[in-house]
A and B are shown apart, each in its own frame.
Chain A
Amino acid sequence: MYSGISRQQHYFFLEKADGEPAMTRPYFGISASSLKKIYHSHLGDLRNELDKDTEDLTPEDYARAGDSLIAQLLEKDRDSKAWREDPLEEIRLVRIDIARKADGIARERTDITTMEVPR
């Protein structure tokens, strides 16, 4: 179970060009939970490369980490049923921040990056 509990959390998901979610399992064989972990690995690499603290990262840096994540996902074979039936032309990486507030749970959306899928 979680060693640290916070009132705030976030996760990521992928979106198609039409705004519908692109399910991570059928397209890339991973869960949305793994998507988040891989994104943060890329962000950590970038932070080390730029020699920056987390609070100094800019939206452009977050977008660069997102681009690296999508590029890694696209390295995989695209021969699953989902790719054959509904090939993605564009992928948007979206971050959702969740917070526990007095009146319930609040969600906030941030678009991290959008990438065209090379043929």
Chain B
Amino acid sequence: MKRVIDWICAWAGRGFKPFVFCRTERFLLRLLTASTIFFLPGPGEDLDRRSLPEPGKFDLTSQPHPNGIAHLIDLSWIGEPNIYPKLYWAIAALCVPYVFGLGLAIVLPLIAGLHILIFTLYQSQGSIGHDNQILSLVLLGQAVAALLPLFWTRRGKTFPPASTPQQLRDYVFNVSLQVIAACYVVAGISKLIKSKGMWVWQTPDLVVEMVKTNDQRSFTKADDPRGAELVDTIAFMTDHPQMTRMLLGGGFFLELFAFLLLYNRCWALAFGVGLFGMHKSIHWLMQLGFPENEQLLLIYLVNPVFWGLLIAHRLNRFS
């Protein structure tokens, strides 16, 4: 047992170091994060909430079922026709210095604050979802990461988690990765607690959820052809419970152990591909779409910017 623990400690000691980001990567990660606030790919009409609604498409002027900070402050003013467009364009304007990495300690708290306020009003209509949550949390994490070091430097001290100028510049992105990992670990732990450890065993019962979501689609829009496609999948899950546990249990373990994505870039890539695949299969099976999650997984974990730059660098060195 001691040898196993020693091996795990030695293995952990080799990883979990802050990732190092070059200037181009930092710029492109900020650009892609800002674009996620406004643009998301996919069939928009299938989901109630997508990216930040365009002015004219946001008509929520009341909060019939307050949620979160809406319990403390009335947010219904946000949806007023003369207010919301100003907030929308304010976020767009704030994203310009954000993308260029200017004044992050000022612009990030404003972007994160406005994003949270707008989507809190969205979540105060009686239908609560968590599809926008990850982006709000990443923005909030970035805002805290931009602000925290200032408190130390103003006192003439070094910020402990980022002691070098490079680490300080990278801190915002490393915190983003930690926030994404935390979102999945919390989801995994909540499954573990709520099911009393039986989640994987219970996965064959997900057919009930599939039937429900499939039926619901047929009462949402008249011309939805998905129903017939899912009949075979539901029959497969009913007839092959062990196979279903193996297939769906994988997603559960990916979530529970998502903190391992912080080990190094390769682990981040592996978890990024795995979790992205999990979201795609859930979307296909249950029509539960999480486009923000998918996009942030692609940007920060799969990170084609880093791997593209690395390959280009290696090719240049050998040519």
Q: Are B127 and A2 in contact (CB under 8 A)?
A: no
CB neighbours (8 Å) of B52 from chain A are: none
Q: Which residues of A contact B282 (CB under 8 A)?
A: 1
- Name which of A30-38, A50-58, A111-119 contacts chain B: A30-38
Q: Nearest-CB distance from B282 to chain A (Å)?
A: 6
Check if B222 sits within 8 Å of A23, measured CB to CB.
yes
Shortest distance between the CB of A16 and any CB in chain B (Å)? 12
Say whether, besides A38-B127, A72-B64, A5 and B199 are in contact (CB < 8 Å).
Answer: yes
Pair A11/B216 contact, Cβ less than 8 Å: yes
User: Are B208 and A99 touching (Cβ within 8 A)?
Assistant: yes
Given contacts A37-B128, A41-B127, contact A100 B220 (CB under 8 A): no
* Also in contact, A96 and B195, with CB within 8 A (given A5-B209, A104-B238): no
Chain B positions within 8 Å of A34 at CB level: 48, 127
List residues of chain B with CB within 8 A of the CB of A105.
207-208, 211, 234
Alpha-carbon distance A7/B191, docked complex (angstroms): 16
Interface size on B, residues (CB 8 A): 42
Q: Would B126 and A100 count as touching, CB distance under 8 A?
A: no
Contacts of B211 in A (CB 8 A): 9, 98, 105
Contacts of B65 in A (CB 8 A): 38, 41-42, 45
Q: Is B99 an interface residue (CB 8 A)?
A: no
**Interface pair A96/B215, CB less than 8 Å apart:** yes
Is A1 in contact with B194, judged by CB distance below 8 angstroms? no
> Within residues 32 to 48 of chain B, which ones have a CB less than 8 A from any CB in chain A?
45, 47-48
Q: A41-B127, A45-B65 are in contact. Are A5 and B220 (CB under 8 A)?
A: no
* Neighbour of A1 across the interface among B64, B128, B222, B251, CB < 8 A: B251
The answer to whether A4 has its CB under 8 Å from any CB of chain B is: yes
A14: chain B residues within 8 A (beta carbon): 219
* B205 and A6 form a contact (CB under 8 A): yes
Tell me if A25 counts as interface (CB < 8 A to partner B).
yes
**Which residues in chain B, 178-237, are within 8 Å of chain A measured between CB atoms?**
187, 190-191, 194-195, 199, 202-203, 205-209, 211-213, 215-222, 234
Complex contacts, B45 vs chain A, CB 8 Å = 25
Q: Within 8 Å of chain A (Cβ to Cβ): is B125? A: yes
B260 in the interface, Cβ–Cβ < 8 Å?
no
15 A-B pairs in the complex with CB atoms less than 8 angstroms apart: A3-B187, A3-B195, A5-B203, A6-B208, A9-B212, A11-B219, A23-B222, A30-B127, A31-B47, A33-B213, A36-B216, A38-B65, A41-B64, A98-B212, A105-B211
A-to-B contact residues, CB < 8 Å: 1-11, 13-14, 21, 23-26, 30-34, 36-38, 41-42, 45, 72, 76-77, 96, 98-100, 104-105, 107
